[in-house]
Amino acid sequence: MASAARIYGNEMDEMWGRTIPVSKERIYELRDGEDLLVNDMVVSAVETRGHANHHHVLRIGDIAFMGDAAGIRMPDSDFVTLPAPPPEFDLESWQVSLAKIRELNLKRMFCTHFGVVDDVDLHIDKLVSELNIVVEYVKNLVIQGLNREAIITDYVNWYRDRAYSSGLSSEDLTKYETANPFFMSVDGIIRYMNKMMSQEN
């Protein structure tokens, strides 16, 4: 909640209403590879860092509920976008997570944003490519010394051009931007790049 509050600020309550904490006694923290029995169903937790450190995919047989690990894809579209908000976006961790997801041999994924994906391998291929392309693009802008506002402006124009070139309509692009505001991914990637560069020095 704290990271979401940092992103949305005063708009958070307006968008989703007041958030009330759950008592500690009612929280169970899942571990990677842990199975839960829900009635007669086995639900397996798969740790999938990259979007956030606490992220897990929940697998039931050959289907899985993906959270944000599989990116954002609107119904009736094959355009996949990257939700990379601060503070925990991490390229290498997400690449590892996507390799883990591929090894699950899923037949179907249920994406939080939004809906059912049956072309699992193709979808993962697109997200792997998107991760590399987007991070490299923002990295080059950071290296050029552009400030945050200039990077966001450049990124938004670049991303919109890519979306339109893929056949996305302006109406559909608005839906993607509403679900995944571009500035959030820019902020997440800039933070990641600064962290990587500080570790190199």
Question: If we measure between CA atoms, which residue out of 40, 49, 41 comes closest to residue 89?
Answer: 49
Q: Which residue has the higher pLDDT, 78 or 4?
A: 78
In angstroms, rounded to a whole number, what is the distance separating the alpha carbons of residues 191 and 57? 24
Give the model confidence (pLDDT) of 121-170 as tens digits.
999 999 999 999 999 999 999 999 999 999 999 999 999 999 999 999 99
pLDDT of residue 1: 60
pLDDT of residue 198: 82
Rounded to the nearest 10 degrees, what angle do helices 120-143 and 91-103 cross at?
170
Domains of the chain, by residue range, sit at 2-18+28-200
Give the model confidence (pLDDT) of 27-61 as tens digits.
988 999 999 999 999 999 999 999 999 999 999 99
pLDDT of residue 76: 87
pLDDT of residue 182: 92
pLDDT of residue 161: 97
In this structure, CATH architecture of domain 2-18+28-200 = 4-Layer Sandwich (3.60)
CA distances from 114 to 5, 25, 73, 184 (A): 22, 31, 6, 18
Whole-model pTM: value is 0.87
pLDDT of residue 11: 72
- In the block, which residue shows the tokens 């899985």? 64
Give the model confidence (pLDDT) of 53-89 as tens digits.
999 999 999 999 999 999 999 998 999 999 999 999 9
